[in-house]
Each structure stands twice: as C-alpha cells, then as structure tokens.
Structure 1
Amino acid sequence: MQQSTSGTTVTLEPDRELTAAELATRHGMAVSGARPGLFPYLGQLWSRRHFIWAYASARLISTYTNARLGQVWQVITPLANAGVYFLVFGVLLGTNHGIDNFIGYLCTGIFIFTFTQQTVTTAARSISDNLNLIRAVHFPRASLPLTSVLVQLQQLAPSMTVLAAIMLVTGEGIDLSWLLLLPALALQTVFSTGLAMTVARWASRTSDLSQLLPFIMRTWLYASGVFYSLDRFTTDLPGWVAGVLHLNPMAVYIDLVRYALMDSMGSRPPGYLWPAALGWAVVMGVAGFIYFWRAEEEYGRG
C-alpha cells in the first residue's frame, strides 16, 4: 500500500501477525536447551564440576546403602570374580601354562577390564535413568556419563590397592616401574570416557542397546587376553587377526598395567603398547565427546 504525504510517497507494509519465532528473536529470546558451541560447552561442564563430583559420590554411596558390608563390596566383587575365573580358566582349562604368577596376571586383567566395562554399562543408562532431571533442569547433559566415569574411578582406587597387595603376596617387588600405572590408568580413563559418551548417545535412541551390552562386553572380555596369553593363542591365526587382537584397546591397557606391576612380564613392554594406548585415548576421547555433544538438544525429548 502506498500513501502520499507532502509530495513524498511512503510504502506501508500491510498489518500481519508475527510468528512466535519472530517475536522471540525481536525480544532477544533463545531456544531452550539449544546446543552451545563446543568450547562454551566445555566451560559449562567445568563450572559444574562440583555438582558432577557430588552427584557421583552420592550415587556410589547409594549403590551399597542396603548392603550390610557397604562399600567393602567394591573390593569383594572383583576378588570373587577373580576366584571364579581362576577356577574355570586356570584350574579346569589350564590357560595358566606358560604364565609366571598367573594369579597376578589374572587379577590385573579382571580389575582393569571391569573399570571400563562398568563405566560403559552404567553410562548406557545415564540418559534414560535421569529423564526427569533432564527435562526439569538445564545443564550440560555430558555431566551424566561423566558421573558414571567418576563413580567407577572411585571404585577403582580400592581395587588398585588390593591389586598392589596381591602383587606383593605373589612375589612381585615394588620398583619405579609401578609409577607407570598412573599414566596407563589416565589413558584408559580418557578412552573409557569417550566410549561411555558414545554408548550413552546410542542408548538414548535405542533402549535395546542396554540389553545387548552384556553380551558385547563378555565377547570383548574373552578377546582381551584377560585369562590367557594372547601370544600363546594367536600363533596359528592369520597375522592380521593376531594384530587386531593385540591392538584391541583393552588388551593394550591391561598389558601396560601388567608390565608396570609385574617383573615376571619382562623389563620392557613391546614398543607398540604406549603409542597404541595414547592413540586409542585421543581418538576415542575426542571423537566420543564431540559425538555426544552434537546431540545435546535431543536428550530427554520424545
């Protein structure tokens, strides 16, 4: 529509109703739960670090609230698993042949694998178990799988104390190589965190994944050299199959801890172990975090 005023023609837009999106933009409103940039997202996680740690501690305590022995089960459970596996694999199947200090070898594999196994299993439920919290409060959703990691880290500490005692009882001596346990566990933690975030996103879309995970993790357990020496059982396999098994991330982290704590393993680990451990940690840690972050707006919806 045109209107002439004092010889000047002014074009007027016809009146129309603004959409909700246009009104929101005009008044500086943003989408609720919109995904922030990657680095601002990291800043949000850091600012909520006290909440994440407190939530993890509360979850750990609540896990053993109804158990008479309480958090002593953090130590009893892996030891009981080690006893069962020793009976089955060491005594009945004889996989201990050629392995000095099979008890220390077996316990190391079980304790280290259990850390990643439990981290991934609990992270798979971290979104579905907290839908009410996600829908009621705005916070970076990565806090939830990170909580699963911290819970398992707190459980790992007493397990490592018990493992050190097992090493001493079975004849391993304390030396400077034990300090390599710290970087090995740090790299495994980064790897496990990335894997936990990947599985958390998958499970948030497919609830059946939580039912499949026990079978997947059990298969992974048997392929990681927890109960036997990979060198002994891969001699007749094609070279590429043996290479895949040796580069399996859990086999890598388990062997690093074994070489750190056990003199009977030899003075130096194979040259590929540390580069492989670092590579798995960087790739899985970064890729898993970004993969989870990209779906930030989807969690708790539907």
Structure 2
Amino acid sequence: MSTVSDSVSFSAPGGADAGLTPKQLAAKYGLSVSGKRPSFSQYVRDLWARRHFIVAFATARLVAQYTTAKLGQVWQVLTPLLNCAVFYLVFGVMMKGNQGITDYIAWLCIGVFVFQFSQSAVLSGTRAISDNLGLIRALHFPRAALPIAFTIIQLQQLLISMVVLVVIVLFFQMPTMTWMLIIPALVLQSVFNTGLALAMARIGAKTSDMAQLMPFLLRTWMYTSGVMYSVQSAVDKWPTVFQVLFRMNPASVYMDLIRYAFMPNAYNKHALPDHVWVIALGWALVAGVAGFIFFWKAEEEYGRG
C-alpha cells in the first residue's frame, strides 16, 4: 500500500481534488501514514513471520561477540566461573556464607549462572534500540525482534555454560529425575527475561542515561536475591511482609527452581512448595505480556529523531 508522511504538506491539485486537505486526499486514495504502528494482532503476526531472522541474527551476534578475544567463545564460560571464584572467596570463605548450605560451591555456581542470564538479558535489552539505530533506520521489521534476539543470545550463552555447570554439580551428586525440571524453569525464566528486556528497550531508547544506571540497579538486585547466600535464612527474623517480598523476588524464585532441580539434597530432600512454580509462572506471564505491550505501544517512535 502506498504511504504518505503525516508531516508533509502540499497543495491539492485542481479538478475534483481541489480544496481537499492532505488527510482527505490520503483517505480518498488509500494512503496511510508511513511508519504507523500496526495493530497488536498484526504486530504479533509480523514478528512470528520473522522468527528465522531473529534466530539467525542472535546466532550471528553470539559468534561475533568474542571474535576479537584470543580465547574466543571460552569467555562465555570463563566469565561466570571467575565470578563464582570471587564470590566463593568473599562470601563463602571470608563471610562464612556457606554455613548451613549443602554443597555450597555447586549451589553458588548455579545462582551465578542463572542470575547472569537475567542480568545480561536486561542489560542487552536496555541498549537494543540505541545501539542498533543504523539497522532500524535501514530496514523495516518489528522492532521487538531486537530485544527478543538479544535475550536469545543470553539463553544460548547459558545453555553453553550449562555444560560446565553440569560437570560442577556432578562432583557433588549424581543426576536425579528432578533434573527434568530445569527445562520448564528455564522456559519460564526466558519469558520473564524477554519481557524485562522489551520494557527496558523502550526505556533505554528514550533515556540514554539508563544504560549507565542499570549496572548499579542490577548489582543491587543481585545482592538482595540470594545469589551468594540463602536469602530465606537472612530474612527469617524480619517482619513477615519483608519475608514475603524477598521470597517473591523473581530472581530468587527462578534460582530456587533450578537449584532444587539440580540439587534436591540442598533442600533436605523435600520438594519446593507448589506455590513457587505458581509464582514463577505468574512473573513470566506478567513480565512477558506487560513488557511486550509496553514496547509495542511505542513501535512507531523507535529510530526517529
């Protein structure tokens, strides 16, 4: 369909069109505003039609990410392992955060790997629009493809790192049937991360300073989520309302699910309460749906200015 910019003014030609305003002429000849936001259902269809582009883009960016580093893709695994070593030294040895936690090293590594998935997805989403303005202005595609693609990149990195994580866990216990729970837990966390990435992509596109602020906010989130220590033990003597808030923390919820899946012995062989799965599902639905709608609402604004 032909398009006409809503910012262009022109004089109507003579004859039957004389005296018509630009909007009236556009309506008469079936013209539409260039870059107009599609309907929600159409937007979803357009995004689904480009699913192969999203996956290919994510894979290409992942391969190119470490091409200038001598160790290349090894950094995908080495970075979280180095973080684990630092956290173990500070929180496990110096601050005795390992007390009361079975197989603390494996427990800590799972927390670091899982939280880094959310952290990296949010950081990448925040810069998804501002760092890709050339692509956005050159090609027409649903802009949500970018934060979704960056979340897929982080998921791919996590899956690669999972190979090392499995080796670490095997030093402490053999596989059990609970390992099957890792799949639905990661699916729920991926949906949650995608919603956050979409929401932060819109905010980051409008506020460039957000990319500088996010590392501090995410660091605070990490320290209050129980990555290096048991948050349940830390808040046991707090008022009930604060205990509930800390235990509803989505990062803590997803870490608990995957920790239990890998290491049921760390939970004294008792299954997690069913409400933990309900909370995880709720966070995934709320963040996924709300983040997608929030991003779609500003679709026509990305890349302008």
Give 2:223's aligned amino acid. Answer: Y
| Contact residue 173 and residue 263 of structure 1 kept, 8 A | no
Secondary structure at 2:33 match in 1: coil
User: Closer, same or farther in 2 for the Cα pair 1:267/1:19, shift >3 Å?
Assistant: same
Task: Please give the alpha-carbon distance, in whole angstroms, between the structure 2 residues aligned to 1:126 and 1:103.
Answer: 34
Q: Identity across aligned pairs (percent)?
A: 52
Which residue of 2 is the match for residue 175 of structure 1? 176
* Distance across 2 between alignment mates of 1:149 and 1:179: 22
TM-score after normalising by structure 1 = 0.93
Please, which moves more after superposition, 249-258 or 40-49? 40-49
Please tell me whether the aligned partners of residues 178 and 264 of structure 2 are also in contact (alpha carbons under 8 angstroms). Answer: no
**Contact 2:119/2:218, CA 8 A, preserved across alignment:** yes
2:199 maps to what in 1? 198
CA RMSD after TM alignment? 1.4
The runs of 5 or more residues in structure 1 that have no matched partner are 1-12
The partner residue of 2:298 within 292, 295, 299 is 295
Question: Is it true that 1:208 corresponds to 2:209 in the alignment?
Answer: yes
Quote the residue 1:155 is aligned against. 157
1:242 aligns with 2:243: yes
**Equivalent-residue separation in structure 2 for 1:189 and 1:260 (angstroms):** 17
- 1:30 pairs, out of 29, 32, 45, with 32
2: CA distance between counterparts of 1:154 and 1:86?
25
Aligned residues: 289
* Superposition pairs of residues 53-68 of structure 1, within 5 angstroms: 53-68=55-70
Who is 1:225 aligned against?
Answer: 226
Separation in structure 2 between the aligned mates of residue 251 and residue 15 of structure 1, nearest angstrom: 64
Structure 1 or 2, whichever has the larger Rg, is 1
CA deviation digits over 1:207-256, x for unaligned, max 9? 11111100000000011111111122112211111110011000000000
Residues 71-112 of structure 1 show CA distances to partners (whole Å, capped at 9, x for unaligned) of: 111111111110111001001111111001000110010000
Q: CA deviation at 1:26?
A: 2.0
Shift of 1:31: 1.3
Q: Structure 1 residue 22: deviation in Å?
A: 2.5
SS at the partner of 1:140? coil
The 1-side partners of 2:204 and 2:83 are apart by: 27
Could you tell me how far 1:38 is from its partner in structure 2?
Answer: 1.0
Amino acid at match of 2:179: W
Structure 2 alignment gaps of length 5 or more: 1-14
- 8 Å contact kept, 1:187–1:277: yes
Any conservation in 2 of the 1:225–1:251 contact (CA below 8 Å)? yes
The CA distance in 2 between the partners of 1:15 and 1:283, in whole Å, is 50
* Alignment correspondent of 1:5: none
What is the distance in 1 between the residues matched to 2:286 and 2:173?
Answer: 34
TM-score when normalising by structure 2: 0.92
Using the TM superposition, give the Cα deviation of residue 271 of structure 1 relative to its aligned residue in structure 2, in angstroms. 3.1
| Separation in structure 2 between the aligned mates of residue 163 and residue 251 of structure 1, nearest angstrom | 18
Q: Measure the CA separation in 1 of the matches of 2:164 and 2:67.
A: 22
Name the CA distance, whole Å, in 2 between partners of 1:271 and 1:180.
13
Counterpart CA distance in 1 for 2:16 and 2:126 is 54
SS at match of 1:226: coil
Partner in structure 2 of residue 18 of structure 1: 20
How many Å separate the matches in 1 of 2:162 and 2:184? 14
2:127 alignment partner in structure 1: 125
Q: Which residue of 2 aligns with 1:4?
A: none
Report the alpha carbon displacement of residue 138 of structure 1 after superposing the two structures with TM: 1.2
Residue 31 to residue 106, structure 1, CA distance change in 2 (3 Å): same
